[in-house]
């Protein structure tokens, strides 16, 4: 526990999500402590109260860290679940072991969704070329082959057709733990975000509609212009997932809306989500403030919107646009403090109100 009366939120991870959470926590009078292998000089640490530079498997450093904060959360889902187990011996840990363990593996998360009656694209666990050949023979349609762990923003993925060489695909992916997913013809992708406290109470945000380019989120619009029936079903499914995992914190879930009107689970992340950055200006309470409230044991904030909003990601190749964005009326610019701009690297985002 912290030694003074100001609660301290520990954050595993040093990137932009930790940075924005630290800023939101400070606005509530809370302190933050960043823990990461690259914490020193990181985007998150430069706005936090404290930081520790140590690895996620350094048990001694983790115990010191956890003993000096009041609660711990993670800004990314690939922190080792064992790390959360060590921390939970000293203080509450968000999102908890089960949400992390499930979200870290595509088969586990899709299996859970299926068990809860939430529809998913058809999928197969692929360990070798024979598995892939059998699955493609059964499917006889385009598909996506993905690593089960660590792939994000389009990385670790291969598009497959029935006539493709399965041996070559497995060699290219270089993994014996993969998932083959039926490729869905969809009208759009939407995402939901829900906050859940330690008592099991939850509060949801309006649904976002997303557009990707080269596997990376390019733009989100919210509230999503989709049928209320589909938005409600997505929110209900997200709540069911959060409850089944006894989640403490926030959970984002992405869904496809197929061209024939079906809602299909895609993937989940038990942390703040890129598609809800618009909530900083567009909602009565942002996703980061809601998480800080939840972690500190404070009541949920209201999540009604101030009209319809658009969020555009700024990648390294978009940084020449910054002067124009700064001069544009009604544009809210957020830069993440990363020292080097690279193509495909998330450097910031811009939000603007686009309607009532």
Q: Using one digit for the tens of pLDDT, what is the confidence trace for 281-305?
A: 999 999 999 999 999 999 999 999 9
CATH of the domain at 51: 3.40.50.20
Tell me: do 137 and 168 sit in the same domain: yes
Banded pLDDT at 260 (limits 50, 70, 90): very high
Q: Are 25 and 31 in contact (CB under 8 A)?
A: yes
Which residue is listed with tokens 């209320």?
Answer: 228
Determine, yes or no, domain membership for 101.
no
Write the CA distances from 85 to 95, 152, 225, 232, 300, integer angstroms.
11, 25, 40, 34, 26
* Boundary (domain end) residue, out of 182, 205, 225: 182
Q: Are 331 and 325 in contact (CB under 8 A)?
A: yes
The number of C-alpha atoms within 13 Å of 66 and in the hemisphere containing its C-beta is 22
User: Domain range for residue 248?
Assistant: 186-355
Mean pLDDT of 199-220: 95
Q: Using one digit for the tens of pLDDT, what is the confidence trace for 29-63?
A: 999 999 999 999 999 999 999 999 999 999 999 99
* Residue 342, φ and ψ in degrees, nearest 5: -130, 150
- Asked if residue 223 has a cis previous peptide bond (ω within 30° of 0), the answer is yes
Which residues are CB-contacts of 57 (< 8 A; sequence separation ≥ 6)? 80, 82, 83
Tell me: do 63 and 175 sit in the same domain: no
Tell me: do 134 and 88 sit in the same domain: no
Determine, yes or no, domain membership for 107.
no
Determine, yes or no, domain membership for 114.
no
Tell me: do 175 and 197 sit in the same domain: no
pLDDT of residue 3: 47
Determine, yes or no, domain membership for 341.
yes
pLDDT of residue 269: 96
Tell me: do 330 and 207 sit in the same domain: yes
Tell me: do 331 and 215 sit in the same domain: yes
Tell me: do 193 and 278 sit in the same domain: yes
Tell me: do 78 and 217 sit in the same domain: no
Tokens at 232, concatenated? 């409600």
* Boundary (domain end) residue, out of 182, 197, 221: 182
CA distance 331 to 169: 43
Banded pLDDT at 221 (limits 50, 70, 90): very high
CATH of the domain at 142: 3.30.1490.20
Percent of the chain scored above 90 by pLDDT?
88
Tell me: do 43 and 137 sit in the same domain: no
Helix, strand and coil percent figures for the chain, each rounded to 5: 30, 30, 40
Which H or E run contains 125?
strand 123-126
pLDDT of residue 5: 76
Tell me: do 200 and 70 sit in the same domain: no
- Number of structural domains (the chain) is 3
Determine, yes or no, domain membership for 201.
yes
Tell me the angle at which helices 287-295 and 16-27 cross, rounded to the nearest 10 degrees.
70
* Residue 88, φ and ψ in degrees, nearest 5: -65, -15
CA distance 248 to 243: 9
Determine, yes or no, domain membership for 294.
yes
Q: Using one digit for the tens of pLDDT, what is the confidence trace for 72-126?
A: 999 988 888 889 999 999 999 999 999 999 999 999 999 999 999 999 999 999 9
Determine, yes or no, domain membership for 100.
no
pLDDT of residue 4: 58
Tell me: do 237 and 191 sit in the same domain: yes
Determine, yes or no, domain membership for 3.
no
Tell me: do 49 and 175 sit in the same domain: no
Which residues are CB-contacts of 49 (< 8 A; sequence separation ≥ 6)? 8, 22, 31, 32, 33
CA distance 34 to 148: 28
């Amino acid at each position: 526990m912290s030694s003074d009366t100001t609660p301290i939120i520990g954050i595993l991870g040093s990137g932009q999500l930790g940075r924005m959470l630290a800023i939101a926590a400070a606005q509530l009078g809370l302190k933050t402590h960043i823990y990461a292998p690259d914490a020193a000089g990181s985007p998150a640490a430069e706005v936090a109260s404290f930081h520790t530079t140590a690895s996620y498997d350094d048990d001694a450093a983790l115990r010191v860290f956890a003993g000096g904060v009041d609660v711990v959360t993670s800004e990314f889902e690939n922190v080792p679940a064992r790390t959360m187990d060590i921390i939970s011996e000293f203080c509450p840990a968000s999102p908890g072991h089960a949400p992390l363990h499930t979200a870290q593996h595509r088969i586990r998360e899709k299996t859970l969704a299926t068990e809860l009656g939430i529809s998913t694209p058809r999928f197969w666990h692929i360990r070798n070329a024979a598995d892939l050949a059998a699955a493609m023979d059964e499917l006889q349609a385009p598909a996506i082959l993905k690593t089960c762990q660590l792939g994000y923003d389009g990385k670790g993925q291969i598009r497959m057709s029935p006539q493709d060489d399965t041996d070559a695909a497995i060699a290219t992916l270089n993994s014996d733990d993969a998932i083959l997913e039926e490729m869905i013809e969809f009208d759009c992708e939407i995402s939901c975000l829900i906050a859940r406290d330690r008592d099991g109470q939850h509060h949801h945000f309006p649904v976002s509609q997303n557009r990707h380019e080269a596997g990376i989120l390019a733009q989100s619009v919210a509230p999503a212009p989709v049928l209320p029936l589909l938005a409600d079903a997505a929110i209900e499914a997200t709540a069911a997932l959060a409850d089944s995992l006894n989640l403490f914190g926030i959970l984002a879930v992405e869904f496809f809306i197929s061209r024939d009107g079906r809602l299909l689970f895609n993937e989940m992340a038990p942390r703040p989500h890129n598609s809800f950055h618009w909530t900083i200006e567009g909602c009565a309470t942002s996703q980061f403030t809601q998480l800080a409230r939840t972690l500190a044991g404070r009541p949920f904030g209201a999540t009604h919107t101030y009209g319809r909003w658009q969020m555009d990601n700024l990648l390294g190749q978009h940084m020449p646009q910054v002067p124009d964005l700064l001069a544009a009326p009604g544009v809210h610019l957020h830069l993440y403090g990363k020292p080097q701009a690279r193509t495909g690297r998330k450097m910031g985002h811009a939000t603007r109100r686009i309607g009532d």
